[in-house]
Amino acid sequence: MPAANELSHQTHQKVEQLPPLILDSDSQSVSDTEDQPLLFQAIGTLYGIPHQEEEGKFALTIAGKNYSLFFPGYRYKAWLKQHSNSPENPIYLRIYPKCLLIPRKDPIIRFQVAAWGEENQWEEAPGIFKFRGIWQFVPQLRTPVISIYRNSNATDPQGKFKASHLPVLMRRNDAPRPFKFNPKIPKEQLPKRWFIQAIFKFIPSRNCWGWVEDLELPTERIPRYRKPIKPSVEQPPIQENRKFFVKPQKPDKPSLMIEKKTVATESEIQTTPSMITTNQESSKSMVLTRSQMAEKLGVSDSTLYKRISQAKQNSDPPVIELDEQKWHYVDNPTGKGKVFRREA
């Protein structure tokens, strides 16, 4: 096959040979899966010289591109021994493709290694993969994918049952088309979903797989599978007896009702006697300006200001004593500035 010419070479040096091992919890073995065609599956073969990019991380270069390899479980220790003994020898790898889809970015493809050996012990040539899954579109990618879900008998220690969505190029002349979900279409009118069982060739230049031939005819029968579990978003705990702060409302200031004939301007205060009476005889309020208070006390205006500052430390508004009477230094109700006021 063309993929064999592109990705494979022959070698006569012996390296450690390991039997094929399916590490995915959704499969039992290659032969078991082949005996039951209506199961989800994605497996293939690669050939090359894996290299170590950094401690604990390996990659395989295919057509000038690096693809990450990972070795779950106890296989990692066996691989470290293999790599240390023959780091420069090309090797066949039996792998499971994985794909990370990020919106508006190229898919990130990497491979989970299940087994390896000097000779190709498997029926697929290097670069050839066997996919069994649902042909459909996913929101993260424009290219259709073959979705490989976890089979119904699968177990997952993390309980997530993640699916692999592998981008594929496939033009067919028969009825099947990739399924595309449309929320505006009623469920009973949505297009059919097709289960594809076929051989695909890895195309590094397109970062996807190309359809070669069917293993079985496409079918509308979808095998049972474990639906991926989305991570739950933790909600903050509800606090009981929560105290809500209510900003106190300022009471409306009562409007000061003063008849026009009782209002005295500052000029009138200076030209009239120091005592001004209002029409409200019950209150008998007396008002003095600051200059008038200084004159009655016989002090300068600056000395009076110091007394006001000292009095403010004891009470607000400040209180000045004159003739054994207390005068409050308050806002002038009839104009700007402050005045001294004494309640009779």
Q: Is residue 151 part of a domain?
A: yes
Predicted confidence at residue 131, as pLDDT, reads 98
* Residue 125 contacts residue 1 (beta carbons within 8 Å): yes
Q: Is residue 246 part of a domain?
A: no
| 26 lies in some domain | yes
Tell me: do 165 and 272 sit in the same domain. no
In a shared domain, residues 109 and 209:
yes
Q: How far is CA 175 from CA 40, 91, 270, in A?
A: 22, 40, 105
296, 176: one domain: no
Is the domain of 270 the same as that of 127? Answer: no
Number of domains in the chain: 2
The reply to whether 24 and 118 lie within a common domain is yes
Give the per-residue pLDDT at 210: 97
- Indicate whether 238 belongs to any domain: no
Residue 323 sits in which domain range?
Answer: 260-342
Amino acid at site 75: R
d(CA 146, CA 132): 8
54 and 121 share a domain?
yes
Question: Does residue 316 lie in a domain region?
Answer: yes
Q: Which residue do the tokens 């699968």 mark?
A: 154
pLDDT in tens, 266-281: 444 444 444 444 444 4
In a domain, 243, yes or no: no
Asked if residue 186 and residue 105 are part of one domain, the reply reads yes
38 and 123 inside one domain: yes
In terms of domains, do 195 and 282 share one?
no
Q: Which residues of the chain have a pLDDT value below 50?
A: 1-34, 240, 244, 258-264, 266-284
124: tokens are 């697929």
Instruction: Report pLDDT for 27.
Output: 38
Give the number of other Cβ atoms within 10 Å of residue 30's Cβ: 20
Same domain, 326 and 216: no
Domain boundary residue, one of 172, 202, 226: 226
Of the candidates 182, 211, 226, which is a domain's last residue?
Answer: 226
Q: Based on the domain organization, do 221 and 279 belong to the same domain? A: no
Q: What global pTM score does this model have?
A: 0.58
Beta-carbon neighbour count of residue 67 at 10 Å?
A: 21
171 shares a domain with 28: yes
Determine the pLDDT at residue 133: 97
